[in-house]
Amino acid sequence: MDTLTAIHQRFSANRFDQNRPVAAELLDQLIDAARQAPSAFNLQQTRFFAVQDLEARKVLRGIAYNQAKVEEAPLVIVVLGDLKAHEQYEEIANADEQAGIYDQRMAEYFTNAVKTGYADSSRAHDEAIRSGSLAAMNLMNAATSLGLVTGPMIGFDQEKFRKAFDISDRYLPVIMITVGYNAPGNWPHKTRHTVEKLLERNGQPGRKNAFST
Ligand SMILES: Cc1cc2nc3c(=O)[nH]c(=O)nc-3n(C[C@H](O)[C@H](O)[C@H](O)COP(=O)(O)O)c2cc1C
């Protein structure tokens, strides 16, 4: 399935086939697609916490305000952002340098910019949300193209999740994604605003535009 088709076919699922698990290879394919998403400086702070066992999903359901899909979907992936990823950035800069993408001077420049820039915890927080969201979207589009359905969710108690699953406060829960096979009763992809409403076609400095007021 091509990318545009997957984007248009994806919908947020509430119902999942409870008798059809997601194969381990598919989980790997999803994460492989998710990790191709961009991140500022290629910081790659996004991590993925998969919950599959029924008993664990039941615990997660309680943490997600009793939303049934969390138990009924055979796979739930919690996307996490590592708030300390910048402290290990040198490894990434070195890998990109070794791959011949840029030279040592550039690697040193990036390393310095990242270490100082992300010491500000609000920046690390915002970037974790941004990068995690991009990765999550990649994951959901990849899932659609693999014949799966997904449900993005932020309706869960992040602190309870951290406690129940022993996740360090170094990792910020960004979004939860239920994954599985379609079952009867799902709403289709919902309506969207028109392109006209969403787009300023030719922004110019000093000129009134769709977003000036
Ligand atoms: C950040 C985010 C959080 C969401 N949280 C929940 C949630 O907790 N529970 C839920 O049922 N749906 C949740 N949704 C799904 C939205 O309701 C859904 O994507 C939206 O209605 C559009 O539906 P569509 O993707 O099928 O067109 C969430 C979606 C996003 C992007």
Give, for ligand 1, the residue of 14, 154, 172, 191 to mutate: max count of ligand atoms closer than 8 Å to Cβ: 154
- Determine, yes or no, domain membership for 56: yes
Residue 205 lies in a domain: no
Q: Do the Cβ atoms of 83 and 172 come closer than 8 Å?
A: yes
- Residue 11 CA, closest ligand 1 atom number: 26
**Residue 211 main-chain phi, psi, to 5 deg:** -115, 15
Phi, psi of 33 (to 5 degrees): -70, -40
Q: Are 84 and 128 in contact (CB under 8 A)?
A: no
CB-CB neighbours of 189 under 10 Å = 12
Confidence band, pLDDT 50/70/90 cuts, at residue 175: very high
- Give the relative orientation of helices 24-34 and 121-145 as an angle to the nearest 10 degrees: 130
pLDDT digits (tens, 9 = 90+) for 106-161: 999 999 999 889 988 899 999 999 999 999 999 999 999 999 999 999 999 999 99
The whole-angstrom separation of Cα 63 and Cα 156 is: 6
User: Which CATH number characterizes residue 187's domain?
Assistant: 3.40.109.10
Q: Which domain holds residue 194?
A: 3-198
Question: How many domains is the chain built from?
Answer: 1
What mean pLDDT, rounded, does the chain reach?
Answer: 97
Domain assignment present for 77 = yes
* pLDDT attached to residue 46: 98
Residue 209 included in any domain: no
pLDDT in tens, 64-118: 999 999 999 999 999 999 999 999 999 999 999 999 999 999 999 999 999 889 9
Residue 33 lies in a domain: yes
